[in-house]
Amino acid sequence: MADPVQDDRDALLRQQTTLARFGELALQSDDLDEILTEACRLAGEALGTDLAKVVELQPDGRTLLVRAGVGWKPGVVGIATIQAEEDTSEGYALKTGKPMTSPDIEKETRFRYPPFLIENGAKAVANVIIIGAKDQPPFGILQVDSREPREFTDADTTFLSGYANLIAAAVARLHAVEAVRQEEERLRRVLEAQVVERTAALGRSNAQLDAFAYTISHDLRAPLRAMEGFARILLDDFGTQLGDKGGRYAQRIVTAAERMDRLITDLLAYSRLQRHEVVPRVVDPIRAASRAAKEARAEHGEAVAIDVQGPMPAVIAEPVVLGQVLSNLVANAAKFRREGAQAQVTVRAEPAGERVRIWVEDDGIGIAPEHQGRIFNVFERLHGEETYPGTGIGLAIVAKGVERMGGTCGVESALGHGSRFWIELPAAGDRSVDADEERQA
Ligand code: ADP
């Protein structure tokens, strides 16, 4: 025997279960179409029908697009539209915000219904509005369609209204998520554009700097050569007339001009290094080390004893840059020697895992720990020009050059106890020394 009270209770339980299940999905899913389709399925199920849809109000404020639905033939979901006019139940529901039901479409006199509804076999309809965010137009309408004429009770429409409010909350949440995503996307684009723009600007200014550096160095060197040359003539040919004092001044001009020349050379080397395209290949460091030793011997003669210990493991490097790096390190090791003592300099290399560490060690004046951090900076010098002439760019070239080759560098030292400079570069392993490099050497 049918028990109407029991039936009502069952229906209520079904509806409440549906609400709970949908609430979970509405909170968790980020896919609006999934949420809306599931809303239709569950709402239909709760009201005992397999036909339901959500129609979304379009920006024109009148057209309703079937955004999602269940039970429809192809050509409805995502395609069919309804005009929200006064004489449609949808228009009425939108305008009043109240649930609107038609228990039997065929007998309906108040509203007209779109053909696709009839074609799909809908005989009765219940509409509830899905509100929009505060001060926003409604999102649309949740419509439950029945294939049989049927009454929708107040309990049904109350259930559907609660349901539609859940959908509205899910829509608002997704809109907020989408707004954040769009903002993130916009910011990302702005940042990317800035990076591209800055990189291009940097490229332009690099090229300008290059041209500038060459022009400046050329323009500076010409008068410099003249100054130095005339000062030397003064010294050589007019020594007696100049007297002691005049001779010292002329000598100072020569020294200053020489220093200026070194400065120009070092600055050019550094600025070139910063922009120079570094294409590393397999290199035997012994060549660069030997060349550096030769240069230092030529400059300091008996004052230095340099021991280049081979063989050395091959490294991945740019030969010209590596040459400059080792040349600067060996030059420093020879230069910063203790007064009156011969400098003992050792250049050696050892494998360090995937890398090779090349050491340039001396027994010179050493560097106090508190100064070791900054000597790799440009223009950083710890001594007066008189004792150890220099430009303060040598180690900056070392640091930049090593960095450009994907390596690292550092120093171990104590004041008065010599210095051990090291650079570390990727090991070439079994790869053989580049033929180009062989030829260059
Ligand atoms: P500089 O032109 O003065 O040699 P660098 O950049 O090559 O400039 O070196 C920076 C400073 O680091 C030097 O002025 C010196 O004080 C210190 N330094 C570099 N190498 C050594 C070394 N082997 N022994 C002691 N001091 C060193």
Going by pLDDT thresholds of 50, 70 and 90, the confidence category of residue 123 is very high
Which pLDDT score, from 0 to 100, does residue 201 have? 84
Q: For the residues of 25-70, what is the DSSP string, one character each? A: HHHH---HHHHHHHHHHHHHHHTT-SEEEEEEE-TTSSEEEEEEEE
Going by pLDDT thresholds of 50, 70 and 90, the confidence category of residue 41 is very high
Contacts for 311 with CB less than 8 Å, ≥ 6 apart: 286
What spacing in Å lies between the alpha carbon of 373 and ligand 1's midpoint?
Answer: 12
Which pLDDT score, from 0 to 100, does residue 108 have? 87
Instruction: Please tell me the distance from the alpha carbon of residue 62 to that of residue 78, in angstroms, as a whole number.
Output: 16
Residue 338 above 80 pLDDT?
yes
| Contact between residue 429 and residue 313 where contact means Cβ atoms under 8 Å apart | no
Q: For the residues of 421-438, what is the DSSP string, one character each? A: EEEEEEB-TTPPPPHHHH
Which residue's CA lies nearest to atom 25 of ligand 1?
A: 366
Nearest to 345 by CA among 295, 391, 379, 393: 295
Contacts for 110 with CB less than 8 Å, ≥ 6 apart: 87, 89, 92, 102
Nearest to 332 by CA among 357, 291, 358, 300: 300
Going by pLDDT thresholds of 50, 70 and 90, the confidence category of residue 272 is confident
Site to probe by mutation for ligand 1, drawn from 336, 370, 372, 378 as the one with most ligand atoms within 8 Å of Cβ, is 336
What spacing in Å lies between the alpha carbon of 265 and ligand 1's midpoint?
Answer: 17
Instruction: Please tell me the distance from the alpha carbon of residue 404 to that of residue 417, in angstroms, as a whole number.
Output: 30
Which residue's CA lies nearest to atom 4 of ligand 1?
A: 390
Burial call 274-292: b when 16+ CB within 10 Å, e when fewer = eebeeebbbbbbbbbbbbb
Residues in a beta bridge with 410 = 422
Mean pLDDT of 12-19: 83
Instruction: Please tell me the distance from the alpha carbon of residue 201 to that of residue 192, in angstroms, as a whole number.
Output: 14
What spacing in Å lies between the alpha carbon of 393 and ligand 1's midpoint?
Answer: 9
Supply φ then ψ for residue 121, to 5 degrees: 85, 20
Torsion of CA 256, 260, 262, 267, to 10 degrees: 150
What spacing in Å lies between the alpha carbon of 375 and ligand 1's midpoint?
Answer: 7
**Looking at ligand 1, which atom is closest to the CA of residue 365?**
25
Asked, as a colleague might, if the bond just before 311 is cis with ω within 30 of 0, I would say yes
Which pLDDT score, from 0 to 100, does residue 437 have? 53
**Looking at ligand 1, which atom is closest to the CA of residue 366?**
25
Structure tokens at 4: 């109407």
DSSP-assigned letter for residue 109: -
What spacing in Å lies between the alpha carbon of 336 and ligand 1's midpoint?
Answer: 7
Coil, helix or strand for 9?
helix
Nearest to 56 by CA among 204, 164, 193: 164
Mean pLDDT of 346-355: 95
Instruction: Please tell me the distance from the alpha carbon of residue 418 to that of residue 364, in angstroms, as a whole number.
Output: 4
Residue 109 above 90 pLDDT?
no
Which pLDDT score, from 0 to 100, does residue 441 have? 45
Structure tokens at 250: 């002329």
Instruction: Please tell me the distance from the alpha carbon of residue 267 to that of residue 212, in angstroms, as a whole number.
Output: 12
Provide the percentage of residues in the chain whose pLDDT is more than 70: 97
Total residue length of the chain: 441
Supply φ then ψ for residue 262, to 5 degrees: -60, -40
Which pLDDT score, from 0 to 100, does residue 2 have? 62
Q: What angle do CA 129, 130, 135 make, to 5 degrees?
A: 105
Mean pLDDT of 18-37: 86
Ligand 1 in contact with 390 (CB < 6 A)?
yes
